[in-house]
């Protein structure tokens, strides 16, 4: 039995993305007859029709859609394998694929990467913005090496979870608002506020904070990027509930003010990775750097309120 030809698979994906055989041929620098031959041989190998040839565009059949979806993963894995072999051959330490959820501070990430480059200059980190649940699935399937996830997470055999940070959440408010020293669910429920998108655990964490006080307000806007939530407050559009670590650089900005929450709301996070008797040195290096940036629990209420 012949194995799947990755060049033919790449041709099918190019047709799916570009819409026509001619456009795929041009993008792949192939002669049009070669593109047609690739698809013919691929359909023969699959024993299924993969494309519906129209006058203007080619459309995927259901079988073709499935092959394209899974084929993208296969080509990505092939590229990763080539990169790993080339790194090993050239003496570089390796590539580590790290998933980060929306709750990971964008201020911390550059600091961690800088620390890693000093400690292990041969290690390259490929960051992927992935939700916590998806990160756990990808660790299980082997398409991620490490993930920084919201805690807790359901246990998965072969995946280790280490507590990493427990950071307080705060309210970032427009400077023009007349705000109390401590922001309560009752006070904020009567105003415009923005939140992380569902189904992120950050969204659930904030919803639970309101719910435990008996309130179930809808956010004015739901976004996945912390920087966008900060910009809404700076533009006097709405409040945002964010980790303190994310907004500490805003304390002296004239357009915003920062307030602690009452009752306090904590954001626990963990580092997840696949367990192995012999840990890859590159992965070990990244785990060590992450550990250096971990913290124990931090009090969500300060003796004096934060003021921007």
pLDDT single digits (tens) 285-308: 999 999 999 875 443 333 334 444
Residue 21 sits in which domain range?
Answer: 6-86
> For 217-258, how does the pLDDT look when each residue is reduced to its tens digit (9 = 90+)?
999 888 877 778 888 888 888 999 988 888 887 888 888 999
86, 108, 125 — which closes off a domain?
86
- How many CB atoms are closer than 10 A to CB 307? 11
Query: In this structure, are 76 and 200 located in the same domain?
Result: no
Q: Say if 303 falls within a structural domain.
A: no
Closest CA relative to residue 190, chosen from 201, 177, 202, 181: 177
Query: In this structure, are 179 and 220 located in the same domain?
Result: yes
| The two three-digit tokens of residue 194, written as one number | 């923005």
Query: In this structure, are 244 and 224 located in the same domain?
Result: yes
Query: In this structure, are 256 and 182 located in the same domain?
Result: yes
CATH number of the domain encompassing residue 44: 1.10.10.10
> For 165-199, how does the pLDDT look when each residue is reduced to its tens digit (9 = 90+)?
998 999 999 999 999 999 999 999 999 999 888 77
CATH number of the domain encompassing residue 153: 3.40.190.10
Rounded CA separation 137/203 (Å): 20
Query: Structurally, how many domains does the chain consist of?
Result: 3
Please, is 249 exposed, middle or buried when counting C-beta atoms within 10 Å of its C-beta (0-12, 13-18, 19+)? exposed
> For 249-299, how does the pLDDT look when each residue is reduced to its tens digit (9 = 90+)?
788 888 899 999 999 999 899 999 999 888 888 899 999 999 999 875 443
27, 61, 86 — which closes off a domain?
86
Output the CA angle 301-198-149, nearest 5 degrees: 65
Query: In this structure, are 55 and 172 located in the same domain?
Result: no
Q: Is this structure's pTM higher than 0.75?
A: no
Query: In this structure, are 181 and 37 located in the same domain?
Result: no
């Amino acid at each position: 039995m012949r194995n799947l030809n990755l060049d033919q698979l790449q041709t099918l994906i190019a047709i799916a993305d570009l819409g026509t055989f001619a456009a795929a041929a041009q993008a792949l620098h192939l002669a049009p007859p070669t593109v047609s031959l690739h698809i013919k041989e691929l359909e023969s190998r699959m024993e299924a029709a993969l494309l519906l040839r129209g006058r203007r565009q080619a459309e995927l059949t259901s079988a073709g859609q499935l092959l394209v979806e899974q084929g993208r993963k296969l080509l990505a894995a092939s590229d990763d394998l080539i990169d790993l072999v080339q790194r090993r051959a050239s003496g570089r330490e390796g590539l580590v694929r790290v998933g980060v959820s929306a709750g990971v501070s964008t201020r911390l990430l550059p600091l961690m990467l800088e620390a890693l480059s000093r400690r292990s200059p041969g290690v390259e980190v490929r960051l992927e913005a992935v939700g916590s649940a998806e990160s756990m699935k990808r660790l299980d399937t082997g398409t991620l090496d490490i993930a920084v996830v919201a805690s807790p997470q359901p246990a998965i055999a072969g995946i280790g979870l280490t507590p990493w940070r427990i950071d307080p959440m705060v309210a970032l408010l427009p400077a023009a608002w007349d705000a109390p020293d401590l922001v309560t669910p009752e006070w904020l429920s009567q105003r415009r506020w923005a939140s992380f998108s569902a189904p992120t655990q950050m969204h659930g964490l904030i919803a639970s904070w309101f719910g435990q006080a008996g309130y179930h307000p809808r956010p004015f806007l739901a976004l996945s990027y912390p920087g966008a939530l900060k910009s809404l407050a700076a533009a006097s559009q709405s409040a945002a509930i964010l980790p303190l670590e994310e907004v500490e650089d805003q304390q002296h900005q004239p357009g915003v003010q920062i307030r602690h929450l009452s009752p306090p709301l904590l954001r626990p996070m963990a580092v997840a990775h696949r367990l192995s008797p012999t840990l890859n040195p590159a992965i070990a290096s990244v785990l060590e750097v992450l550990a250096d940036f971990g913290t124990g629990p931090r009090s969500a209420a300060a003796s004096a309120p934060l003021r921007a």
